[in-house]
Amino acid sequence: MPRQTGAEQRAATVTRLVQLREADTLTAAHVRVAAAGCGVDERTVRRWLARADQTRAERPERYRLSKVDREAYAFYRGNVAAIERVRAAVLAGQPTAAGVPVPQFLIDGWGGAPAVTGRTLRRAYAREMTPAERAYWASGEAGRRAADVYLTRPWTPRNQWWELDHKQLPILVLPLRGRAVCPWLTSVVDDGTRALLGWAITLTPSTATVLTALRMALVHDPDRGPFGAVPAGARVDRGLEFAAEAVKDALAALCVDPNRLPGFTPHRKGKIERLHQTIEQTLLCGLPGYTKGPRDAAGRLHGPLSDSARDKEAAEHAPVGPMRLERFVVERFIPWVTWYNTERPHSMLDGLTPVQAWEQDPSALHRIDAAQLRHLLLAGEDRVVQKDGVRHAGLSYVAPELHGRGGQLVQVRYMPHDDRQVEVYLNDVHLCTAYPQGHLSDEQVAAFREHGKAETKRLTAARRRASRRARVELAALSDGQTAEAESRLVPEAADEQAARQRGDEALRRRASASLLGLVEPYALPPGQSYPTPPEDGS
């Protein structure tokens, strides 16, 4: 319990002594005890009593706001000076104030009201109206929220609740084509650990970017940290991208029910709002093209960059221009995400980083294999398989399954700003995971070559089967062929192997004899031999 101040204690003592006197039970012993409790002389206590009587006799009754006073406050948008001027005009019987007609409801409401000064009105408004109420009539909903008090959510374990939101980053970047723009960030934040689990940066937000950010948050990737599991719930705002059927179906398939928050209530997902503010304070404010920097009297940004429409069009050819979108993401944003998750201590986590808070939480995690979440990838354009694989974002991607598919039309799905791999689809069916040329491991190179050899063997075996089947089917159509000849064309398995070995041996002899200019005689059928030449050599 807070300790009372001297003024509060004196007021309580005087109130109690007045009550005893009104009850006609006040004695000198009461005054003596009160003086000892307050640490003052008895004469001081008696002076307090006398001053209280005099003040109560001289103090006028406080002015209290009427209903019309409150309506006038709302009508004049919190301008107490205007209220005082109009009120004085009404009491003086004048129909106008400052040359403007007085509203009839004020003339009717203030008829016969007591005259008060502007200072008294200000005190009454400050005493009887809350700061939020006064700010609401002066500046609207934004002012009311600034003076409002919000509830805080209780602590939750890791990966229980996610918060999803869009944010247009206040920085100019150059896309592949077109003028400089401010890109959009779609992010997924864990409520319990404040970790940035998934994100996607695009020129305009869409359902595809939401699904892509969700997949990044769901898939466990050791290169990004220990994150990646299915949450118990997700909080989203009223954005149309989050309300899309594809997003609801993707979450529902994982038994996650998205909690759509009411509109214009950013405080109900304050973790992600605070993260966006941290991005501005620690990353964007030091980069070229930051649009929230100081401006001159004409509204132009200080520095070499400008966000005017004309300067956005010419930004690509300016001496000092904005960063390319890909460069901003790869060289600035991705390292920042790593720093935020692994190195930045958080005051609401007792000085721990998000990764430390995640690893120290023993709550169970429910992971889903990445192969089962391919449908959440960002769909790319159709591509034709080339000699060096599938082209995407300036790189050639290959996979063993692409053998023999040169010239075939396939579809590429990918994670934005992640060139480590792409998923290749054929007729909406997953075909393979392709990796960029020049970045394949020894195991991937060996698997690629082995698959090529296996494909060659498979086609060779199929060709032989087709040839044997053709000989069988066409033997009956040839002149002089009998069933016996047909059976000879299709030997048993053991005879076929022996015949193949004899043919290989004859081929080796012909190859070695041809080097000397000799011609190898034809091989005779089994059981026959060449005639013995005469001894005279004729």
Whether residue 273 is contained in a domain is answered as yes
Residue 223 falls inside a structural domain: yes
Q: What is the pLDDT of residue 531?
A: 56
Tell me, yes or no, whether 26 lies in a domain: yes
| Residues 326 and 438 reside in one and the same domain | no
CA gap 191, 21 in Å, rounded: 60
Any domain includes 155: no
CB atoms within 10 A of CB 319: 5
Residue 510 lies in a domain: no
Q: Going by DSSP bridges, is the β-strand pair 409-414/378-384 parallel, antiparallel, or unpaired?
A: antiparallel
- Domain encompassing residue 429: 378-473
What pLDDT was estimated at residue 534?
54
Same domain, residue pair 277 and 166: yes
Q: Are residues 312 and 244 in the same domain?
A: yes
CATH, residue 193 = 3.30.420.10
Label residue 135 exposed, middle or buried (CB < 10 Å: 0-12, 13-18, 19+): buried
- Closest-CA residue to 227 (of 271, 201, 195, 267): 195
312/407 same-domain check? no
504 is a domain residue: no
CB 198 within 8 A of CB 159: no
How many angstroms separate the CA atoms of 175 and 323, rounded?
A: 9
**Do 331 and 441 share a structural domain?**
no
Model pTM score: 0.68
In a domain, 527, yes or no: no
Q: What is the pLDDT along the chain (538 residues), one digit of tens a residue?
A: 444 557 788 888 888 888 888 888 889 899 899 899 888 999 998 888 888 777 665 556 788 999 999 999 999 999 999 999 999 999 999 999 999 999 999 999 998 888 898 899 999 999 999 999 999 999 998 888 888 888 888 889 999 999 999 999 999 999 888 888 999 999 999 999 999 999 999 999 888 889 989 999 999 999 889 999 999 999 998 888 888 888 888 888 899 988 888 888 888 888 999 999 999 999 998 888 888 888 888 788 877 777 777 777 766 666 667 888 999 999 999 999 999 999 999 998 999 999 999 999 999 999 998 888 887 877 777 889 998 899 988 889 998 888 888 889 998 988 887 888 898 999 888 889 898 987 777 777 888 788 778 878 888 888 888 888 887 777 766 655 544 544 454 444 555 666 666 766 766 665 544 444 444 454 455 555 545 555 554 4
pLDDT at 289: 85
**β-strands 173-174, 323-324 pairing:** parallel
CA–CA dist 49, 43 (Å, integer): 10
Does residue 54 sit in the same domain as residue 90? no
Within-domain flag for 538: no
User: How far is residue 273's CA from residue 167's CA, in Å, rounded to a whole number?
Assistant: 9
Q: Number of structural domains, the chain?
A: 4
| Pair 230, 205: CB distance under 8 Å | no
Q: Are residues 140 and 165 in the same domain?
A: no
Could you give the CA distance from residue 141 to residue 129 in angstroms, rounded to a whole number? 16
Report the DSSP pairing between strands 233-236 and 161-168.
parallel
If asked whether residues 233 and 272 sit together in one domain, one would say yes
Single-letter residue type at 113 = A
The reply to whether 35 and 72 lie within a common domain is no
For residues 482-504, one letter each, b for 16 or more C-beta atoms within 10 angstroms of the residue's C-beta and e for the rest, the string is eeeeeeeeeeeeeeeeeeeeeee
